[in-house]
Structure 1
Amino acid sequence: MLKDTKYSVLINIGFDPKEIQIYLALLELGEGSILEISKRSKVNRASIYYIIEGMKQKGYVSHLKKNSGYVYMPTDPASLLSRQKSRIQDFEKTVPELNRLMSQNEKHTFVRFFEGIAGVKILYADTLSAKTEILSYANSREIRDHWIDYDAEYVAKRIAKKIKLRGIAADDEYGRQVQNGDKKSYRETRLINSKKLKFRDEINIYDDKIAMASFGDDVFGVIIESKALTETQRSIFEMAWEFSSQ
């Protein structure tokens, strides 16, 4: 398991499989010649010359002339971590500008698909970034049947972030239970006759996004990011809100 973890982490930060074998071998050796690295890593000696040049350019290894040849040393993992943190910080500084460029085009539309309850949880996590209130059509029972800790894992986080939610739900046992908890949940719920409101899905409208989660036989979710579509759905919600009971 530890080996799998090390490999997956190094892959995620940019190593390829052969580079990982060489890097881990060097960590164990401390330093080594091409021959020593080949023996420890099980990578063909002829291939190492080419691979290790690329690793030097990426900053994964360094080298030192010793006696009649060169020895290679791995970059300290802490240095690699520091470099990754620096890159993340640089990217975070750039995100507002990238978002500004994206927002200039009102016609852009992005669609993301999420599979299974694990995917749907990622979808809900996106709603926690909402800068506007969340407008929601919800089947209060379905979400909690599929996500047992929904209130603790999601609702509590939304409350902590003080993201207000206005929701329309079926007037049934679950809907009334949710409505009774509105005051402490930073939420306002209105109920509609459960015979007229028949759906197993949930729709959340926020920012310029529409997040839809389906809890039928196949659990999946979709986020559509479109200013035009979101404005339309927001208007439809407001009409439904006006005619729903308080």
Structure 2
Amino acid sequence: MDLEDVLTDLGLTDKEARVYLSTLELGPSPASDIALRSKLNRVSSYDILEKLIQKGFVSTYTHQKVKFFAGTDPDLIRSDYRQKYLNLKSALPDLRRLHGKTSHPKVRYYEGIDSIKKIYLDTLTAKTEILNYADSKSIRDHWPNYDKEYVRQRVKKKIYLRGISPRDEHGEAVVAANSKNYREIRLVNPGEFSFANEINIYDDKVGIISFGKEEVLGMLIESQEIADTQRAIFMMAWEFAGYNLRT
């Protein structure tokens, strides 16, 4: 497995993974050297290094008025993640009790593309197929590495997706890659059916994402009744989209 993929599975972005690997290869180094090795500009590298410090992947010190950055020993990171896993495991009984206390729908709200990614991450836990309405262009405009960071992970986990999208050049490109990306997308006339939001239906959840001009917002609704209703509505739309293909 590619080292960058391993690190992105741990929650790092592509650039964070690249910078962390550079710190391991170089040893303690100034930000300028790390930027050069990572093929990023110095300002971006410095910002990423600060984020990696917060996440525990990098440490820093100053020598002769020069700030040096050093990658954390991978064994220490493994120990840290193991401790977090053990903490979560010990807390599971209490978390499950809290989870089962309410019968009304659970709704979580998200704001900004980095926060919205948590909805997509949650779909990767799906035990059912994912039913999806989406504008193929919108998500990729806001998340250029969407196919690499999300679609690849969904395919790896063998989570099948059926989707309905506008028939445009972006939708056609997605359909062309249906088979290799473990999905079936049907296209509809964008003049009749526009998609201002993306909706993902799976398990007992419905994820709704709005790609606005000013901001990206989303919510994740957890309710078996709501998910089943949305699933039934999707199936009607799916049959209609299939009829369009035949006529």
TM-score, normalised to structure 1, is 0.62
Deviation of 1:101 after TM superposition, in Å, equals 7.6
Task: Indicate the residue corresponding to 1:238 in structure 2.
Answer: 235
Kindly state the Cα deviation for residue 200 of structure 1 after the two structures are TM-superposed.
Answer: 2.6
Report how far residue 128 of structure 1 moved: 0.9
**Aligned residue for 1:148?**
144
Structure 1 residues 5 and 170, CA gap change in structure 2 (3 angstroms) = closer
- SS of the residue corresponding to residue 162 of structure 1 reads coil
Change (3 A) 1:84 1:158: closer
What do the CA deviations read for 1:84-126 (whole angstroms, capped 9, x no partner)?
8457326326638854884686x33111111111111122111
Distance 1:101 1:198, change over 3 A: same
**Where does residue 42 of structure 2 map in the other structure?**
none
Distance 1:141 1:99, change over 3 A: same
Aligned alpha-carbon RMSD (Å)? 3.0
Provide the rounded CA distance (Å) in 1 between the counterparts of 2:224 and 2:156.
Answer: 27
For residue 193 of structure 1, what is the aligned residue in structure 2? 189
Q: Is the 8 A contact 2:111 2:217 kept in 1?
A: yes
- What is the SS of the residue equivalent to 1:239? helix
Aligned 8 A contact 1:169 1:192 in 2? yes
Structure 2: unaligned runs, 5 residues or longer: 1-45, 57-74
- 2:157 corresponds to which residue? 161
Structure 1 residue 220 and structure 2 residue 217: aligned?
A: yes
What aligned pairs does 1:173-184 form with structure 2 within 5 A after superposition? 173-184=169-180
Q: CA deviation digits over 1:34-61, x for unaligned, max 9?
A: xxxxxxxxxxxxxxxxxxxxxxxxxxxx
1:115 aligned onto 2:106: no
Aligned residues: 175
TM-score normalised by structure 2 residue count? 0.61
Q: Distance in 2 between matches of 1:125 and 1:160?
A: 13
4+ residue segments displaced more than 3 Å: 4-10, 81-88, 93-105
- In 2 relative to 1, CA 149–84 (structure 1 residues): closer, same or farther, beyond 3 Å? closer
Offset from partner CA, 1:174-217 (integer Å, 9 cap, x none): 11111111000000111111111112321000111111111112
Range 205-214 or range 90-99, more displaced: 90-99
**Structure label with greater radius of gyration:** 1
